[in-house]
Structure 1
């Protein structure tokens, strides 16, 4: 689905800026910080003010078009398009490269919590921080 279709389906007004931001998130395979989004948009010849990007991100978030997750390693909120199957990542502490985890390891734990504690889990996030193979080799770890 292209950016215009996403905006129409969610009854959001079309703008070149919204289209550029959605296109960028569709193109990138990993979550990005707001600063990374601003830099990439500039590289792609779609420069935007930081405040404009924040406004668009908030609007897209309110309509469940994007997801926001806080990352302690980058000390920033990471933005990515909303997908039916959420994604977790391994994050290298040294180079900050992200590696997707194929299946959510939390489902079993969540079901156990819901059953034993009578607690309805609405959302969760998981951040696993370590050192990737390349950085281990460089640092001889």
Structure 2
């Protein structure tokens, strides 16, 4: 059964479909204003939370604390530099089998997972 969504949630879903990478709640707010789809920032956060609980939106928190939202898609994993903030995608998923096992053993519906390694990129290692 599909959940009934608010107009705000539908607008955010449509926006997220058009962006290729994660976007902050503030940037969603600004982009919706640019599209003449005004909505309060608190409504953006409430809508994102509802969509996250529905398993449609995922959030990735960067090293600086910024939260980036995107549609749930194939799991994305990253190497993130703590100094310059560069984020390098990792294409293979070393925990996919574990996710399947956990869903079965704990009867837990997993919408997505994230895996992020933090350290220093080549450039930042050289400059130290």
Shorter-chain TM-score: which interval? 0.5 to 0.7
Q: Which has the higher contact order (CA 8 A, sep 6+)?
A: 2
TM-score normalised by length of structure 2: 0.66
Does the CA-based 8 Å contact 2:75-2:114 persist in structure 1? no
For each residue in 1:55-103, what CA deviation from the matched residue of structure 2 results, as whole angstroms up to 9, or x when unmatched?
11111112111112333x13133321112x2112333545545443212
Q: Which residue of 2 aligns with 1:106?
A: 95
Q: 2:4 aligns with which of 6, 12, 25?
A: 12
The answer to whether the aligner puts 1:61 opposite 2:66 as a matched pair is: no
Q: Which residue of 2 aligns with 1:3?
A: none
Q: Which residue of 2 aligns with 1:79?
A: 69
For each residue in 1:87-122, what CA deviation from the matched residue of structure 2 results, as whole angstroms up to 9, or x when unmatched?
1233354554544321213347x48xx7xxxx86x6
TM-score normalised by length of structure 1: 0.62
Comparing 50-59 with 34-43, which one deviates more in the overlay? 34-43
The 3-state SS of whatever aligns with 1:58 is helix
RMSD: 3.3
Distance change (3 Å), C-alpha of 1:47 and 1:95: farther
The 3-state SS of whatever aligns with 2:21 is coil
Distance change (3 Å), C-alpha of 1:91 and 1:50: same
Q: Which residue of 1 aligns with 2:14?
A: 23
Does the CA-based 8 Å contact 1:30-1:80 persist in structure 2? yes
Matches of 1:51 and 1:94, distance apart in 2: 31
The 3-state SS of whatever aligns with 1:103 is coil
The answer to whether the aligner puts 1:32 opposite 2:23 as a matched pair is: yes
